[in-house]
Structure 1
Amino acid sequence: MRVTAPRVLVLLCAVVLCWYTFQVAPDVADRGRRAAAARADAVLPPTTRLPGAEAARHATAPFPAPGKAFLGVFTSQGTHDFTEAADFARGTRHRPQVFEFSADWAHDRFDAKALDRVAARGMMPMVAWEPWDHREEAEEPKLRGEQPAYRLSRIVDGDFDAYVRSWARGIASLGYPVAIRLAHEMNGYWYPWCEQSNDNGRGEYVEAWRHVHRIFDAAGAHNAVWVWSPNISYTNSTPLRRLYPGDAYVDWVGLSGYYGTAGKENYQSFEALFTPSLEELRRFTRKPLVITEVGATDAAGRKAEWITGMFRALPRHRDVIGVIWYQAVKEIDWRVGTSPAASAAFAAGASAARYQQRWEPGGAPRLR
């Protein structure tokens, strides 16, 4: 083959492209990740000293203290990237006291270092612990809850006991409390642990919850804080009382609710969204309440107004001891900082004395 100028040029371009793809681009991306991590660490530095496992058994100071409530953050990035949490803290001028992240039973093994990364930044870890394979999530909403491998009966029958026990032993080895938000939004149909889906039977959710709880007790994981967290009730949702494992198996009761989800695009205040479900819960339990997921759309330009209304309403609900904002993009951009007005509204609400308490690893979860 003759050597020609066009062929030499093509070869040089190929060499440069390979060099960029395998040498330059990864280095640039890695530098970007390191810079983002450095910015996050500047806002949420890992400075908290973590106690030994024995300390968790003797924790006394309640969190949050009577008359106080915490403000936390739930990100899609999880424990390996605190950028979204740092953006939340920077925009709201409030350091979140609780950090929530998801872990599914198909892929996420217990990782003490991951939880330590959260606790070392002065945030109590809350694990949204999900018995399914999220990578196999169906696109059709009605099929999201269909994963036969994760039927409730399999949990009850002990098919996942080895996995559950590994987490129980891991949690027990830590020197601070970890909130376990097991199988949330169970009153809907969109997860495999919902009784409305996956050929699950009535009563199996409670059986599965109690089974997992007993494994943790047997492992000595008494620093686990059990968070039973349904979605706000809606037409045709499963009645909450029917799914409640009982006060002996629950420490905090949670609720998920958003302004702007499909079917709820019209403006609804915090009170309108949450009060009916809060009243329903109070018919069968007096456990402390946590809003474990909340967010608001800015599609109609009313996000700041909604946030202001939320902070105005919260003091009327003294049994709500915490609120966790969903700081992520999922169908809708739920992050606080979608507008300067929304960030300012949250910063103004979070500045109240009620939310000014640091989380300390040696503290005990408030149970009354």
Structure 2
Amino acid sequence: MRTRHLVALVAIGAIAFAEATVLHTVDIHVPADTPSIATVTGKAEPGASQPPKTYDVAPLLRPAKKYLGVTVDGGVNTPAIDSFAKQIGKKPNLVAVFESFNDGFAASEVRKVYEYGGLAMIRWEPKGVPMADLAAGKYDQYVVTFAKAVRKLNLPIALTFGHEMNGNWYTWGTKSTTPAQFVAAWRHVHDIFVAQQATNVLWTWTPNVVTYLKQVKLAPLYPGDDYVDWLGLDGYYSQHGPKTYTDLFAPTIAEVRAITKKPILIVETGMEPGTARPGQIENLLTSVADSADVIGCAYFNLNATKDWKLDDSASQRAFAKQAGADVFGFDVGTIK
């Protein structure tokens, strides 16, 4: 995950490193709004008309059916998404949009995802931004501009600011940032969005699975229930690591359940190629379907440092069989 990315959504130790490098660089050019005299106070400019009521994301918090997401190469690439949908027999309704912290809000991509029937998952990466400086307000102009653009579009998004913060492979991770600094930065960014009335956001706090990160406790990194809507998880099945849903996700779920009862979403996962992959796909999707705690999952369907892409017929058939269950998938725009 490097400068300005755009990829569509939905292992640890060595796999954790892979998760930090699997994304291809994709050029995104989304013009940002010019900051006005309105600041983080949220006060409107003199004479400005009132904007329409903010999109209500509450019905999307715990929908009756599960989210089924996918990441494809090439950004919000409708042909690639359609190809995956054809392979699995169902349209994905969760799509990831990767953005660096100096990017303008990807409004056109979010709109495209919504018109497809899905929810855009903004993977907002504050690369090179000291969390202490962010919390102190040194990036407020940019964050205000971004939040205003989110409010102006007025469509629902999920936002995974600073994901995998419990790892050491990002600048906002444990190597360069204390838990207190990360929490302060998260809360500050959240407060700016609220001040700008950009409440059409599902705030998705997303650590890496703890399988090989047991020395890093998650509780000090958690911003608090007032600042989080969903608990996201990033984790990959591995030939040399976790091979089952229980091995991969259960330890992290147990740890976060001691912190909060917020809904859980598997934001990023995948399996390496081989004879075990079809069974692991079945294991993933049946486990998500059977868990009232977990509201969905997204598959990372592209090749990078590992060949995560489901390019073999056995894996595609396994995915289609399990994803065909009625519990998976719905048109996000119809949930009001």
For the aligned pair, the TM-score class normalised by the smaller chain equals 0.7 to 0.9
Match of 2:138 in 1: 159
Alignment partner of 2:301 out of 311, 327, 330: 327
> What residue identity is the alignment partner of 1:320?
V
- Determine the C-alpha separation between the residues in 2 that align with 1:291 and 1:59: 19
- Tell me the CA shift for residue 294 of structure 1: 0.6
**Does 2:116 align with 1:121?**
yes
Q: 2:252: which partner in 1?
A: 277
Q: Which amino acid aligns with 2:68?
A: L
User: How much does 1:87 deviate?
Assistant: 2.3
User: Structure 1 residue aligned with 2:224, among 240, 246, 249?
Assistant: 246
Residue 295 of structure 2 aligns with an amino acid whose one-letter code is I
Q: CA distance change for structure 1 residues 269 and 294 in 2, over 3 Å: closer, same or farther? A: same
Deviations 1:104-125 (A, max 9, x none): 013x212322221221111111
Shift of 1:62: 4.1
Q: Which residue, 270, 273, 277 being the options, matches 1:303? A: 277
Deviation, 1:184, is 0.2
SS of structure 2 residue aligned to 1:290? strand
Amino acid across the alignment from 2:111: D
Distance 2:134 2:324 in 1: 43
Equivalent positions of 1:193-204 (< 5 A) are 193-194=172-173, 196-198=174-176, 200-204=177-181
Corresponding residue for 1:258? 236
Q: Against the structure 1 CA distance between its residues 193 and 59, is the aligned structure 2 distance closer, same or farther, given a 3 Å change threshold?
A: closer
* Secondary structure, counterpart of 1:88 in structure 2: helix
Which residue does 1:5 correspond to in 2?
A: none
Question: CA shift at 1:197, angstroms?
Answer: 1.5
The answer to whether residue 188 in structure 2 is matched with residue 190 in structure 1 is: no
Partner of 1:93: 89
Deviations 1:212-250 (A, max 9, x none): 000000000010110000000024552111100000000
Report the AA paired with residue 344 of structure 1.
R
> Deviation per CA, 1:129-159, whole angstroms, max 9, x where unpaired?
0001xxxxxxxxxxxxxx4xx1111211212
Question: What's the secondary structure of 1:328's corresponding residue?
Answer: coil
State the secondary structure of the residue aligned to 2:86: helix
**Aligned AA (1:274):** F
1:65 and 2:68 are equivalent in the alignment = no
1:293 aligned residue: 268
Kindly provide the amino acid, as one letter, of the partner of residue 239 in structure 1.
K
Contact 2:300 2:309 in 1 (8 A): yes
Task: Indicate the percent of aligned positions where both proteins have the same amino acid.
Answer: 31
Contact residue 242 and residue 248 of structure 2 kept, 8 A: no
Matched with 1:137 is none
Say whether the 8 Å CA contact 1:252–1:289 is kept in structure 2.
Answer: yes
Alpha-carbon spacing, 1:55–1:77, altered in 2? closer, same or farther (3 Å)? farther
Name the aligned partner's letter for residue 331 of structure 2.
R
- 3-state SS of paired residue (1:296): coil
Matched, 1:343 2:298: no
Question: In structure 1, what residue type is equivalent to 2:304?
Answer: K
Q: 1:191 & 1:116 partners in 2: Cα distance?
A: 29
1:287 CA drift (Å): 0.3
Which structure's residues are more often helix, by fraction? 1
| Cα RMSD (Å) | 1.9
Rounded Cα–Cα distance in structure 2 between residues aligned with 1:248 and 1:69: 24
CA distance in 1, matches of 2:209, 2:286: 20
Change (3 A) 1:238 1:116: same
Which range moved further: 118-127 or 240-249?
118-127
Q: Conserved in 2, the CA contact under 8 Å of 1:64 and 1:70? A: no
Question: Equivalents in 1 of 2:159, 2:145: separation in Å?
Answer: 14
1:327 is displaced (CA, Å) by 1.4
Residue of structure 2 equivalent to 1:359: 332
Structure 2 length normalisation: TM-score?
0.80
CA distance in 2 between counterparts of 1:115 and 1:222 reads: 16
* Residue aligning to 1:54: 52
Change (3 A) 1:85 1:310: same
2 CA distance for matches of 1:313 and 1:171? 34
Q: Residues 251 and 267 from structure 1, CA distance in 2 versus in 1: closer, same or farther, beyond 3 angstroms?
A: closer
Aligned to 1:49: none
Which string of whole-angstrom CA distances, capped at 9 and with x for unpartnered residues, describes residues 50-77 of structure 1?
xxx73544566446523x2110112342
Instruction: Work out the CA distance in 1 between the residues paired with 2:109 and 2:55.
Output: 21
Aligned length: 285
Structure 2: which 5+ runs fail to align? Answer: 1-50
Structure 1 partner of 2:107: 112
Separation of aligned partners in 2, 1:266 and 1:60:
37
- For the 8 Å contact 1:63–1:359, the answer to whether it is kept is no
Runs of 4+ in 1 over 6 A off after TM superposition: none
SS at match of 1:173: helix
Structure 1 CA distance for aligned equivalents of residues 179 and 73 of structure 2: 32
Q: How far, CA to CA, are the matches of 1:60 and 1:257 in structure 2?
A: 27
Amino acid at match of 1:280: E
Opposite residue 363 of structure 1, the aligned amino acid is: I
1:174-253, aligned counterparts within 5 Å? 174-194=153-173, 196-198=174-176, 200-233=177-210, 234-253=212-231
Question: 1:290–1:192: structure 2 CA closer, same or farther, 3 Å change rule?
Answer: same
In structure 2, what is the Cα distance between the partners aligned to 1:271 and 1:167? 38
Greater CA deviation, 349-358 or 121-130? 349-358
User: 1:187 Cα deviation (Å)?
Assistant: 0.4
Distance in 2 (alpha carbons) for counterparts of 1:166 and 1:184: 21
